[in-house]
A and B are shown apart, each in its own frame.
Chain A
């Protein structure tokens, strides 16, 4: 069954869409499940059998209307307790784009869950209740989005139906949030007044808010640009695997397989391999079977290099003109994601790009408690959901970028060598951490990165 050119041509409309990853964040009663349910339902992504199952369970429980939260709560314990325990991923599509939604729970364990969802997100939707405006939790969500450098932030001001669809209510919340986000370093916020329950401005434009001229949530999701790190940033290629067939047809083939993390590479480019620092030239690029002259993030490719270099998994290839510094001392901001604490002196593993090395936690100079946005200068240790600064000494040098410059090569995991538990999500960068350590903002409730 080989597809003909004619068949493929007929599929263009479906196949040419792009992919957007986004995360939602909201407090328990902000209506996040309703928003997610509404997006799925109104974009016709909920199929009949799924809806029938939801209706049956809702009726069995004596509820009048189908509970859209049942669409997203997939586990026994979640249904029993009526809460969302863990990040789940949802999929839907429109004619323009395919979406991967990281549906992150809004309660107790929110920080590590939102960090998980935000780490791969191109966009974060922060939901607020129009009646309550910007609350502590809203600021936490904005802070996590800023910390993780999610490129786009949407403020969805929900429950506009409960404030009479008043423009003044929306404008005040949007202004307060945008100002707060700007202090966190978020340069672009798109604020949208919605009612997830009534369906205003989620998929369909609202008939109740003539004063709003912007996009609906879905329109914005369809139009926001993706993968803008690719252009302009210094290129990075972590070597994943060396392909050496050693077959009669390919006796001398030696290709370096990996996914371009940032930027682009081209044939004839002069590159340097870290940590050895040796310089060579790209002699060929294969993009999964096709020879190409140029390739860019996040394409998976195989590079060919001139000469006989010793290059293996864990090495990093970068343009000679812009090589990352190699260091054994990493200062970083981390989000602690495990239940067991992390203390100075801990012997850990650091997984950065394709390399895992032994390391020791030297210092934990400060902790930022997102609950009240306070700053603790001598925390002793980090516990679950804490965000803090750490100083780590690694056993081998790592070519690590500032997270501010590259989410892909500035991030790392801290792993417990005893049982492999992921302890913390790390974001490298002195400047990042130092700015966070500055004195609390003038009103005493905020902090800057």
Chain B
């Protein structure tokens, strides 16, 4: 009982898209749906590779017209300077408008309290959700991918959030065909994840294919780091190293960029896109498992943060 695949493939093969073309086409479709149906969308832009790919796709989706969205960055106050520099350069180059929600401002105003461990990643949720409410965004693009984490594997491409920005995994709309349902009540908004179906490797392959520039911390470089909870963290004013932690200079690179207090570096000599892709293709660790301390706080850390409004 075998199928006649050999014959059929000859017919269909010429029409099949490469997986990168299929993913690109799907993501562009999602951007255009949002542009067509929402009043005030915004792209979450951190200067990390996923948001960089999102912006690249948005530029392609509406060319030669400008991207019809503004950008929003939640600045933890502990970001890598190289990444902030990249962010500002990119915004200027494309004539975009950037909103910044600052965790530091919230701490200074007494609205948020610094955690004992110095990690600011969980503190991002409040400035993010308040910025969404105050600026009245009705669609918020995030670079989240379902392959990142098992709670994210349950996330819809169009994910409705209530007026408190909460995600309820048990009350999600079924996602049928390519018919995205973005209807929402005033005060609610929709998180949109155009890269849902991409994996880390797809993102890197696409960056290579499209020749997209990245912040240099994604490539191997010498850096002073120290070890905490099994991860290489970079020294800085955010609170490391402590007395019992010894800094050393290593050849490292980053697989993700986020808050410096919880984003770990990996040992690497990959200085080119080819080398990075080769490294990821054989890596036996997930992106988040290798580099994100905050996901290790509990088995459901990501789910719990997402329920509160994290992206």
Q: How far is the CA of A411 from the CA of B178 in the complex (A)?
A: 10
| Cβ of B179 under 8 Å from chain A | yes
Chain A hits for B109, CB < 8 A: none
User: Which listed residue, B18, B150, B286, touches A47 by the CB 8 Å rule?
Assistant: B286
B146 close to A91 (CB less than 8 A): yes
Distance in Å: Cβ of A379 to nearest Cβ of chain B: 21
Report if B111 contacts A (CB, 8 A).
no
Q: Assuming the A-B contacts A75-B169, A299-B25, are A215 and B2 also in contact, with contact meaning beta carbons closer than 8 angstroms in the complex?
A: yes
| Residue B20 is within 8 A (CB to CB) of chain A in the complex | yes
Interface stretch among B112-120, B194-202, B231-239, B258-266? B194-202
B65: chain A residues within 8 A (beta carbon): 243-247, 250, 253
* CB neighbours of B18 from chain A (8 A): 15-18
Chain A residues near B21 (CB, 8 Å)? 299
| Contact with B170, one of A19, A86, A98, A420 (Cβ below 8 angstroms) | A86
A348–B154 alpha-carbon span in the complex (Å): 28
* A227 contacts partner chain B, Cβ-Cβ < 8 Å: yes
Asked if A240 meets B29 with Cβ closer than 8 Å, knowing A86-B154, A411-B179, A413-B181, the reply is yes
Q: CA–CA, A115 to B175, complex, Å?
A: 9
Question: Does chain A have a CB within 8 A of B297?
Answer: no
Given contacts A15-B20, A19-B23, A298-B26, contact A289 B209 (CB under 8 A): no
Residue B269 at the chain A interface, CB threshold 8 Å: no
Interface residues of B in 1-29 (CB under 8 A from A): 1-3, 5-6, 8-9, 11-13, 15-26, 28-29
Q: Which residues of A contact B285 (CB under 8 A)?
A: 47-49
B27 to chain A, nearest CB (A): 8
Contacts of B108 in A (CB 8 A): none
Cβ of B243 within 8 Å of any chain A Cβ, yes or no, is no
B85 at the A interface (CB under 8 A):
no
Cα(A447)–Cα(B152), bound, Å: 39
Report A-chain residues with C-beta under 8 Å of the C-beta of B92.
Answer: none
- Given A116-B174, A220-B3, A298-B17, are A50 and B11 neighbors across the interface (CB < 8 Å)? no
> Which residues of chain B are within 8 angstroms of A86 by Cβ–Cβ distance?
154, 169-170, 172
Partner of B1, one of A174, A243, A411: A174
Residues in A with CB closer than 8 Å to B32 are: 240-241, 257-259, 300
CA distance A214 to B160 in the complex (A): 44
Are B15 and A241 neighbours in the complex by a CB distance under 8 Å?
A: no
Of chain A, the residue at the smallest CB distance from B147 is A91
Contacts of A91 in B (CB 8 A): 146-147, 197, 199
Q: Which residues of B contact A283 (CB under 8 A)?
A: none
A120 to B35 Cα, complex, angstroms: 23
- A236 to B95: give the CA distance in the assembly, Å: 35
Proximity bits, B273-297, A CB within 8 Å = 1, else 0: 1100100010111100110000000
Q: How far is the CA of A2 from the CA of B176 in the complex (A)?
A: 38
Question: Is A82 an interface residue, CB under 8 A from the partner?
Answer: no
- List, in ascending order, chain B residues with CB within 8 A of A246's CB: 65
Q: Give CA–CA (A413, B180) in the complex, Å.
A: 9
Q: Complex formed: what's the CA distance from A116 to B172 in Å?
A: 12
Give chain A interface residues in 69-101, CB to chain B under 8 Å: 71-77, 79, 85-91, 93, 97-98, 100
B12:A231 contact, CB within 8 angstroms: yes
The CA of A413 and the CA of B23, in the complex, are separated in Å by 23
The answer on a CB contact under 8 Å between A223 and B5 is yes
Residue contact B289 to A50, C-beta cutoff 8 Å: yes
Residue of A nearest to B302 (CB): A74
**Further contacts, 15 of them, CB under 8 A, given A231-B15, A259-B178:** A8-B208, A14-B205, A18-B22, A19-B19, A48-B289, A115-B176, A116-B175, A178-B1, A214-B1, A224-B5, A227-B17, A288-B61, A296-B15, A413-B179, A421-B173
A-B contact pairs, 23 of them (CB 8 A): A2-B213, A11-B209, A16-B18, A19-B23, A50-B289, A75-B300, A76-B303, A85-B169, A227-B15, A227-B16, A243-B63, A257-B32, A257-B61, A258-B32, A259-B26, A288-B24, A288-B60, A298-B22, A300-B24, A300-B25, A300-B32, A337-B176, A422-B181
Q: Which 8 A-B pairs have the closest CB atoms?
A: A420-B183, A74-B150, A49-B289, A225-B12, A245-B65, A230-B15, A300-B28, A19-B19
A contact set with B: CB distance below 8 Å: 1-3, 7-8, 10-11, 14-19, 47-50, 53, 57, 71-77, 79, 85-91, 93, 97-98, 100, 112-113, 115-116, 119-120, 152, 174, 178, 188-191, 213-215, 220, 223-228, 230-231, 240-241, 243-247, 249-250, 253, 257-259, 288-289, 296-300, 313, 337, 349, 351-354, 407-408, 411-413, 415, 419-422, 425
